[in-house]
Amino acid sequence: MELKAPGFGAQAHKFKGRDLAQWKKFASLPNILYTDACEWTLYRSGMQMPEKKPLVIRLDGVIERGVAALSDALIGQLFELLTDFLMWQPVVPTGPKALAALLAPLCRLLREDVALAVADDKSALKRLSAEMRAYLFPLSSDEDFADTYAQTLTYALLLARLNGETHLTAASAAARLDSGHGLLAETLRILTQPRARAEIETPVALLERVIGAIDPVQLGKRGDPWLYFYEDFLAAYDPKRRKEYGVYYTPQDVVGCQTALVAELLDKEFNKPMAFADEGVVFLDASAGTGAYPLAAIEHALRKVEAELGAGAVAEYATRCAQNMYAFELQVGPYAVAHLRLTKLLTDAGATLPEDGLHVLLTDTLDSPYVDPPVPPLMAERLTQEQRRAKKVKAHAPVFVSMGNPPYFREQGDDPSGNTRGKWVRYGDATDLSRKDQTPEQPILRDFVDLAPPVHVKNLYNLYVYFWRWTLWKMFEQPGAARQGIVSFITAASYLRGPGFAGMRQHMRQAFDELWIIDLEGDNLGARKTENVFAIQTAVCIAVGVRYAEKKRHALAKVRYSCIEGSREEKLAKLKQVRQFSDLPWQDCFKLPQEPFLPERVGNYFAWPLVTDVWPWQYSGTQWKRTWPVGETPQVLQARWRALTRAAASERSALLKETPTCTVKRTALTFDRATELPSIATAKQDSEAVTPVRYGWRTLDRHWCLPDGRLCDRPRAGLWATQSGSQVFMTSLLSGVLGAGPAASASAYVPDLHHFRGSFGGRDVIPLWRDAQASRPNLPVCLLAELQSQIGIKVSAEDFLAYTYAVLSAPDYVSTFSEELTVPGPRQPITVDAALFRRAVKLGRKLVWLHTYGERFVPAGQQPGRLPAGAAKSIKGIPAAPDAYPESFGWTPDANDAAQGVLQVGAGQIAPVSRAVYEFSVSGYEVVKSWLAFRMKQRSGRKSSPLDDIRPTVWTADLSQELRQLLWVVEATVALQPELNALLAAILAGQTVGADQLTAPTASERCAPGAEDDVAQASLI
């Protein structure tokens, strides 16, 4: 009952403000009475009662006159309403789908009450959350805690009811669950401690009553499949979270595809016709979530048993499934759901559950299999028992099938203490263990790490990689392991082609006999955007790997690849149709140990040298870890510096945006290493900023930066040391997948980490020179002589850069080699035709001149830093008044020529600007649009500090001229593209130089200037 102040009213549709917000919460309740003493209304699940003729009882005058104001008729109506309210009984659902719809709003109400309680630092639930978070609710926010609390309690009560508890309360449910679900029982007791429960009594009592009315027998009848129960529950409980498919559950079409393919291998290759229900098929999902994979595997097996052996055989095979099925889960909410779903499935099939309880265990898979983790005193006995069961499985149980959807999370930094999610896999055990069992001498992840290029090792520090490594160890390497079996995961797809995963690919090829890859694409961040089957931005793939026996059939696995394209719905529809391997077309992949898990291509492309072999030193661009030291004008940067130094000492940390590398206490040098600078903490209010310099922010976008080591995490000193009036920095995606448009960009200034396309930057900067004197080209020492021998003309370093730039800048380069470029690392066709080579050099020099705004490769007769005007002219100036600073921009096509149009910037206009110029892009980065977006009143991109809010206040003539110059450069580039494409076609039609005809670069030539001696010394050792 909800009481309101007299005269307030009791009709929900009239509520406003806080009362309306309260009503939206209470609308979930199946039975609530509203009254202000004068009005009485009854609501059920948001609907006013009686349903056919909603009734509002008004007792006019009752406040002033009391019972004298009531007529017999009113008293009768009120009596009926109160009787209806008090005699309410829960509507008993008849199937899982109806049950999900019934429980979801009540669980949501509990979540909201828990969230309110934990927001109060003095509440009992707040203290309870702090005590339990490290063990049962890891890595959770208050919002996550409330959500997990609500789901755990709801599903624990439901499991107890389905297990036969009749007089349902939290206490009786815990007692019922003690047998077979001991840890869940203890968790339920702790979550409903009297003081904590008192703060959320209403929704807890309501859940007890509603779930207590459920008829387990009715729900046990065949009907809606329990396989979809959690999905139905989420749809009603939290539609937004349900859309986060992959975070909360894996789409059934994905699970079904993996299950069918693994079952086919079990049947045809291992003579296990009943698949997951056969003798010896020990199944493990090491990141089980709510149990989707073991549920699907058991359902698949029992359907086959019933179809082939008869319904009478189902119970014995279900019992075997219960014995052989294991699942690990880290978080108690999904763990509770998995217990419910699997218990329901198995008991409905007539299974006898294992004596030690269901094999769904609350544990961190990546914890050591040999060392006991710490246990909270609150539940020491139960959690210790659970951890011992999990440790026994990890250390001793041979696993034959492992399936799942491991989590994806890339860790940052390195913590030798092991305090990361990678735990034992990444760091091993810290101390020698007092046991005789063999333990690894080093962390098992080292098998992946040691074979990876050092600069790319960071990409291996990802949860899905840890799960892959743990599973390979568990199934094929651990003492007592089966050394045969099947693994099927759906994970991020970065390991298919990324250079950092070379060791991982080698280890997988050595572990399996055969490996099938189903590429589902789904990269929404990179240069080639495609739809994902999950609500994530990262491309994913399914892998199915099999090892037939301890002695492998093949030294290296035969890897096959298939790609499913289209919309999310189309991909899922295709996966739904996959019941056997022959349902998909397969291509053979590269065969060498570390090569990508991608189809082996035919043709000349892979015979050409890698760009990174002819330009052997690549470096990452400058990485600030904050945005405010880079800006559109020197004046903006100086204003930001003044704001920083004039701030109180206590405010400077936040303004700087500290990182472990950059703090206000750090002293540093200027980027040219000429001046030592005091710490930001001690900088005086009137101290001058380091003089701003030009900076290569993005493709064709020159910004300014403060070349101050105190403000930058990774300046890349090697690049700044080579900066000169002769230096050219070429950028590309050298370890990623290139998208449409030119495959390279050029800058006269030191480039940003993400210079090429605004994201996914790595070691993507190729300097022309290794020194500021332009005396040491960034080329293998023999290359120019070998080119002269092959082509028959003398070639300079500048000529070869121009040639490379012309070839990579042809839009047809990416479109022609689109499939080949899915293997990261562009390759360079080098013509042996002297005339073609000279033609490419000429075009490349012109492009570099344009793209460096006239500062490099300046033609004879031209002044450095000046470019000829193009067609675009200002037809209406951009106002310089502060209140007219541009807030938006756009492009309008010409009424007579849709290919031409007018560019609007605030109140200004520039024309003609072609559609091709306005939409010009490199690997998805729209050059003109992004240039403008960075300079609007509210700039695009992230902010790192309040200093980012210091922006230009007026649009200056210099900004207008820079915009016109950008348009002229893009105009000229677009005009050259047909000639560039024709050049590329002529080169490809003729004879080219193979990689095997050139001397490979040395280790010293690949390293940064100044590090050559270290490399030479290491080679001697």
Q: Name the residue among 959, 961, 922 with its Cα closest to residue 937.
A: 959
Which two structure tokens, joined as six digits, stand for 991?
């004879």
Give the orientation angle of helix 124-136 with respect to helix 142-162, to 10 degrees.
80
The full DSSP string for 410-466 is B--S--TT--STTHHHHH--SS--SSSS---SS-TTHHHHTTS-GGGGGGG-BHHHH
The full DSSP string for 937-987 is SS-SS---SGGGG---SS--HHHHHHHHHHHHHHHHHHHHHHHHHHHHHHH
Q: Name the residue among 272, 336, 342, 338 with its Cα closest to residue 305.
A: 272
d(CA 449, CA 21): 53
Residues 375-397 as b/e (b if ≥16 CB within 10 A, e otherwise) read: beebbeebbebbbebbbebbbeb
d(CA 249, CA 254): 11
The residue type of 542 is: I
pLDDT computed for residue 101 by the predictor: 86
Instruction: Count CA within 13 A, CB hemisphere, residue 1001.
Output: 21
Q: Name the residue among 895, 908, 919 with its Cα closest to residue 967.
A: 919
State how far the alpha carbon of 755 is from the alpha carbons of 349, 538, 752, in Å: 60, 21, 5
Give Cα 898 to chain centroid, integer Å: 39
State how far the alpha carbon of 686 is from the alpha carbons of 387, 614, 885, 950, in Å: 61, 49, 30, 18
pLDDT computed for residue 1019 by the predictor: 45
d(CA 581, CA 585): 8
Give Cα 433 to chain centroid, integer Å: 36
pLDDT computed for residue 418 by the predictor: 46
Exposed, middle or buried by CB within 10 Å (0-12, 13-18, 19+), for 164?
Answer: exposed
Task: Answer whether 45's CB lies under 8 Å from 28's CB.
Answer: yes
Q: Please give the backbone phi and psi of residue 908, each rounded to the nearest 5 degrees, phi first.
A: -90, 165
User: What are the start-end ranges of the E strands in 564-606?
Assistant: 587-588
Q: Name the residue among 545, 580, 558, 505 with its Cα closest to residue 401.
A: 545
What does the chain come to in residues? 1021
Number of Cβ atoms within 10 Å of the Cβ of 432: 7
Q: Report the relative pairing of strands 873-876 and 668-669 from DSSP bridges.
A: unpaired
pLDDT computed for residue 8 by the predictor: 86
Exposed, middle or buried by CB within 10 Å (0-12, 13-18, 19+), for 527?
Answer: buried
Number of H helices, E strands in the chain: 36, 28
Q: Report the relative pairing of strands 32-35 and 2-3 from DSSP bridges.
A: parallel
Exposed, middle or buried by CB within 10 Å (0-12, 13-18, 19+), for 90?
Answer: middle
The residue type of 534 is: F
> Whose structure tokens read 């990261």?
824
| Average pLDDT per 10 consecutive residues for the chain, totaling 1021 residues | 85 84 77 86 84 82 78 84 84 80 90 93 89 66 88 91 91 91 88 92 92 82 59 80 62 95 98 96 94 95 96 96 95 84 91 92 89 61 79 92 90 56 84 45 89 86 96 94 96 91 96 97 80 85 96 93 95 96 96 92 86 97 97 97 95 95 95 94 93 98 98 96 98 92 98 95 96 97 97 97 98 92 92 98 98 97 94 96 96 94 97 98 96 94 92 96 98 98 95 95 93 49 36
Task: Answer whether 401's CB lies under 8 Å from 276's CB.
Answer: yes
pLDDT computed for residue 94 by the predictor: 74
Q: Name the residue among 61, 279, 31, 237 with its Cα closest to residue 146.
A: 237
Task: Answer whether 665's CB lies under 8 Å from 653's CB.
Answer: no
pLDDT computed for residue 235 by the predictor: 80
Give the orientation angle of helix 96-118 with respect to helix 124-136, to 10 degrees.
120
> Whose structure tokens read 């003539």?
957
Instruction: Count CA within 13 A, CB hemisphere, residue 36.
Output: 16
Task: Answer whether 44's CB lies under 8 Å from 85's CB.
Answer: no
Task: Map out the domains of the chain as residue ranges.
Answer: 2-86, 93-237, 873-976
pLDDT computed for residue 833 by the predictor: 97
d(CA 323, CA 342): 12
d(CA 399, CA 283): 6
User: Is it true that the peptide bond before 882 is cis, omega within 30 degrees of 0?
Assistant: no
